[in-house]
A and B are shown apart, each in its own frame.
Chain A
Amino acid sequence: MKKNGRRNFARIARYRLRAVFGRKQLDRDMDEEMRFHLEMTERENLDAGMTYDEARRQARITFGGLENMKEITRDARGISWYENLARDIRISIRQLRKSPGFTAVAIVTLMLGIGACAAMFSVVNAVVIEPLPVKEPERLVWVANFGSGGMSARTTRVDNFLEWKERNNVFEKIGAYFAFFDYQSYILNDGDGEPERLKGVPITKDFLDTLGVKPMLGRGFVAEELKWNGRPAAILSHSFWKSRFSGNSQVVGTTINLNGQSTEIVGIMPSNFDFDSIFTPGTNVEILTPFPTTDETARWGNTLSIIGRLKPGATMDQARTELSQINESIKTQFPDRGNFRATVSDFDEQIRGRFHTAFFVLSGAVICVLLIACVNLSNLLLAKANSRRKEFAMRIALGAGRWSLMRQVLVESSILAACGCLCSLPLAIFLTKKISGLQAFSIPQLQNASINGLVLGIIVLLTFLAGLLCGLIPALQLSDLKARKTLDESGERGSAGKQSVWIRKTLVVSEVALACMLLIGAGLLIRSFVGLLQVDLGFQPDNGIAWRIDPTRDFPSLAERNAYYDGLVNRLEAIPGVTAVGISDTLPLGRNRSWGARRLEESGDQRKRITAYPRLVDYRYIKAMKINLLSGRLFGPTDTQDTARVVVINETMKRRLWQDKEALGQVARINGNDYQVIGVVGDVRHSALDEKAGAEMYLNIRQNGGWSATDIVIRSSRANETLIRGIRSAIKGYDSSLATTDYRFLQEIVDHSVAPQKLIKDILTGFSSLALLLAAVGLYGVISYSVSQRANEMGIRMAIGAKREEVTGLIVGEGFRLALVGVVLGLLAAFGLSRYLKSLLYEIDATDLATFALTAAIVMSISVLASYSPARRAARTHPAVALRAE
């Protein structure tokens, strides 16, 4: 029985498939069969002695209507919903091909809407939704020091880290990486070609285990490598392995020359884990190296960024309580370690929490764009349906079901949506690639954005919804048709009812409102961004280049190191076009560490301690960066190791330590040494453009050790390729072991620091421009339609003496009124919603009057423009033509 059932099913399926796909063949067969029957009946009649004509006539009478018969037989053949659907699709495609202009506009509209949505969603998916590529990220926490302030205030001493690791009961694993890795350099010198500077991050023993990530090939670091001065080893990032070693798995176990030391490649990271895409987005990290947690590194102070994996069931609160207990006991045991804390926070939140708002805003915006596209299409379909009212009314009168008519409209809109979806795919892929390829944007996981299965699913769902949404209103409209009434209506076009006009106007008003709202959002972001760019940086980036210099050699003394650098600077200064050269180990808007500084009273008492950001610079740097000297003097060539230690401080540091008293000549104690303040300079935005400067102190590299890698700032009359070549050969000529590829324009550093804001601003601007364009097209459509509907009226008006300008004015006025309602609604909506933008705005109010007013003016003028062209067309029509049109 069961087997039989299955066979039956297969047969029925085959039969049905043939009914749908072999329809033509079946129809032909049926036709032939019926004709055969007819012929046989004729023959029979002839045999019965009828005349030829009579035989034919009688045969036809008995047979009945041939077409009718076919229809009945076809029904028996298994016609059902899918055949109906197939027919609707065929009819729709025919309809759509008849008006290619409409079809193209509709598909392009949807393509833009769906494409933008898909691209945005793939980005949001990567940046916000998809879990970080680590094991069970929900159990990971950051353990920061104070939690805010410079990097040094967030990082922790090695010895404290070890205590936490030993004594805690809440963490399954706890690991860390060296937060100031950017102060170190790894020069890869493989004999042939240029030495290459790599970015490497030293990690502690359990770092990878804590994250739950394993090297794809090879192993993690072992004890001999994690000792102080242990065996050199490195784990390569997947992308570096691919690009530099062309993915050759044989390199595991071989050695490379790193910083002059033969270093073993012990492992390769998997492709889905990029250290930089999580921890340092926008900065390529090519290798991981072992970080020894020993007494030697403990002396470096706060250095570690710590990540803990909570035991299953353990909470962050438990971790907080336990760590603070441990800290109390450390503080009593080792009072010299100073003040520190353990701030526990969610790992994911720390990594990408601050981007949530921005991406939710953008998602909202892109959905608005899609909505506008749908509304537009809905409007177009409505207009089209209205022009077919007569046809539909006729079909209803002839007995077509309402449902079948509605279905046809819905099928039509779904076909459009499906085409739009197909066309949007390349667009979406292009946009996603474009956005994720922007390495410069320091947004975690952005580079991993791609159109994956989930995104595809969402696109299809969106398409389906869009199709339904677009077709729904026209379909409902049609289903309301009163056959008699519509057929009675006069006029070739069949004028639309009041209700339909009302719906179309509502749709267009909502479009304008949405577009207006988005534009205000974009306007706010643009103004905020412009404000951000106008911030006084405290230094001048134009025509400045920062060149990273990492000599791998050892210098026996500080004086010799300084002599080496002086020699290089002299070479660079000699290049034509170079106006100033200076050295610093900490450029603005980059890495940041902080040291403690105290004010020293004349009595020798230590007073007031603050945290300040040290910059180890040469005497030329402040001038080369064009940082303002406010009072006192800068370092000079005469300040050396043998003269008194001096410091230049910024305004903020002066205010914090000495308030409004004179700071020059005062003494500050930094790292146990006393420095006399010789000058006060202006603040420099050093962590971000929208963050005010902290206390900064400039220390002279001739008087201080503790620096290795530096950036040389080269200011010139023109920073171009020739100059770069000149600098490169000068460096090469001075010391051939220096890597010469690592330079950045100061302007690039500034741009990079505002890249996320710029990305968000650009995307929202793009979306809102698209929205405005679509709304304008929608308005144009509605006005054009209204003009065509009112041609008769216009003809009469002009016939009885209305001037052209009056007719134009009348039509433009209609558009103006619609737009005005839309703009007012948009303004209100923006007023209510813009506070969600607040966290993204810099020094501008979320209800900034100028932005609101300007946006309203823009939308209104575009609207008037959009209605002007149909108005002019109306006014140009000769009255006689307009009247004859009916």
Chain B
Amino acid sequence: MLSLTIYMKANLSHVEHLGNMKSNKNKTDLLQGTLDMLILKALSRSGPIHGYGISVQIRKWSEDVLRVEQGSLYPALYRLEEQGWIDSEWGISENKRRAKYYRLTLSGKKQLEEESANWERLSVAVNLIMQAG
């Protein structure tokens, strides 16, 4: 199983560069961008969903390969919300508990498209290298 714990550190450094948003937008770095992309993707696939749901979905869709730890998930959610890519709202969960639901915004959708394209290129490139030899 591949753990994404490593993102925690990267996230922190990202926070410190909030002022640089413009340059960040087109040049999101790989590790950092990946979790964000996964979250955005999860939200786009399942509609409004709470944090716990996102972690369950990612685990399920990756067939238990990726497990997003809470220490990475929530900072990422807060960050994405600050970027304006996702929105949040309090709602009632399936088991009648108050829970915070996240939803993809319009600019989040755009960001997801952009990042998917990048990812496509990147994975093709990485695969080319890995299969070359």
Contact = CB atoms under 8 A, between A and B. Distances in A.
Top 9 A-B pairs ranked by shortest CB distance? A76-B75, A40-B52, A76-B78, A37-B52, A73-B74, A33-B100, A77-B78, A36-B99, A76-B79
A78 interface: yes
Interface stretch (A8-16, A279-287, A339-347, A403-411): A8-16
B82 A43 contact: no
Given A63-B70, A64-B70, A69-B74, 12 more contacts: A15-B81, A15-B82, A34-B70, A36-B50, A36-B97, A36-B99, A68-B71, A72-B8, A76-B11, A76-B12, A76-B75, A76-B76
Contacts of A15: 81-82
A840 B79 CA distance: 69
A276 interface: no
Contacts of B98: 32, 36
Contact of B97 (A8, A34, A39, A68): A39
B95 interface: yes
A75 interface: yes
Interface string A21-37: 00000000110111011
A8 B70 contact: no
Nearest to A26: B78
A69 B8 CA distance: 11
B21 interface: yes
Contacts of B90: 29
Given A36-B98, A39-B97, A78 B70 contact: no
B51 interface: yes
Contacts of B97: 36, 39
B70 A77 contact: no
Contact of A78 (B21, B50, B82, B84): B82
A628 interface: no
B75 A75 contact: yes
Contacts of A72: 8, 12, 71, 74-75
B76 A11 contact: no
Given A33-B51, A64-B69, A78-B18, A73 B82 contact: no
Contacts of B100: 29, 32-33, 36
A12 to B, nearest CB: 7
Contacts of A73: 74-75, 78
Contacts of A506: none
B74 A36 contact: no
Given A63-B70, A73-B74, A8 B15 contact: no
16 contacts: A11-B84, A29-B100, A32-B98, A33-B50, A33-B100, A36-B51, A36-B52, A37-B51, A39-B97, A40-B52, A62-B70, A64-B71, A69-B74, A73-B78, A76-B11, A78-B18
A479 interface: no
A41 interface: yes
A68 B8 CA distance: 12
Interface string B66-109: 00011100111011011010000010010101111000000000
Contacts of A41: 52
Interface centre among A11, A29, A34, A77 (most CB of B within 10 A): A77
Contacts of B84: 8, 11
Nearest to B93: A36
Contact of B21 (A8, A33, A40, A43): A8
B58 to A, nearest CB: 14
A66 to B, nearest CB: 9
A33 B70 contact: no
A283 B42 CA distance: 86
Contacts of A11: 84
Contacts of B74: 30, 33-34, 69, 72-73, 76
B99 A76 contact: no
A274 to B, nearest CB: 55
B36 to A, nearest CB: 12
Contacts of A76: 11-12, 15, 74-76, 78-79
Contacts of B82: 12, 15, 77-78
Contacts of A34: 70, 74
A37 B70 contact: yes
Nearest to A11: B84
Nearest to A36: B99
Interface centre among A11, A41, A43, A72 (most CB of B within 10 A): A72
A44 B98 CA distance: 18
A75 B71 contact: no
B60 to A, nearest CB: 12
A77 B15 CA distance: 8
A36 B11 CA distance: 23
A512 B115 CA distance: 70
Contacts of A64: 69-71
Nearest to A1: B22
Interface string A403-433: 0000000000000000000000000000000
A32 B100 CA distance: 9
Contacts of A40: 52
A78 B19 CA distance: 11
Interface in B10-35: 11-12, 15, 18, 21
A18 to B, nearest CB: 10
Contacts of B69: 62, 64
B111 to A, nearest CB: 13
A62 to B, nearest CB: 8
A72 B72 CA distance: 9
Contacts of B18: 12, 78
A836 to B, nearest CB: 52
B131 to A, nearest CB: 36
A607 B100 CA distance: 111
Nearest to A16: B82
Contacts of B93: 36
Given A8-B84, A29-B100, A63-B70, A43 B51 contact: no
A41 B74 CA distance: 15
Interface string A69-85: 10011011110000000
A48 to B, nearest CB: 13
B70 A69 contact: yes
Contacts of A43: 95
A62 B71 CA distance: 10
Interface in A753-769: none
Nearest to B78: A76
A630 B79 CA distance: 100
A54 to B, nearest CB: 19
A328 B79 CA distance: 89
Contacts of A68: 71
A76 B21 CA distance: 15
Contact of A75 (B15, B76, B81): B15
A44 B99 CA distance: 16
Contacts of A78: 15, 18, 82
A37 to B, nearest CB: 5
Contacts of A37: 51-52, 55, 70
Contacts of A30: 74
A41 B11 CA distance: 24
Contact of B12 (A33, A69, A75): A75
B114 to A, nearest CB: 15
Nearest to A44: B56
B74 to A, nearest CB: 5
Contacts of B50: 33, 36
Nearest to B22: A5
A270 to B, nearest CB: 52
A113 B133 CA distance: 80
Contacts of B79: 76
A30 B75 CA distance: 11
A39 B51 CA distance: 12
Interface centre among B18, B74, B90 (most CB of A within 10 A): B74
Contacts of B8: 72
B69 to A, nearest CB: 7
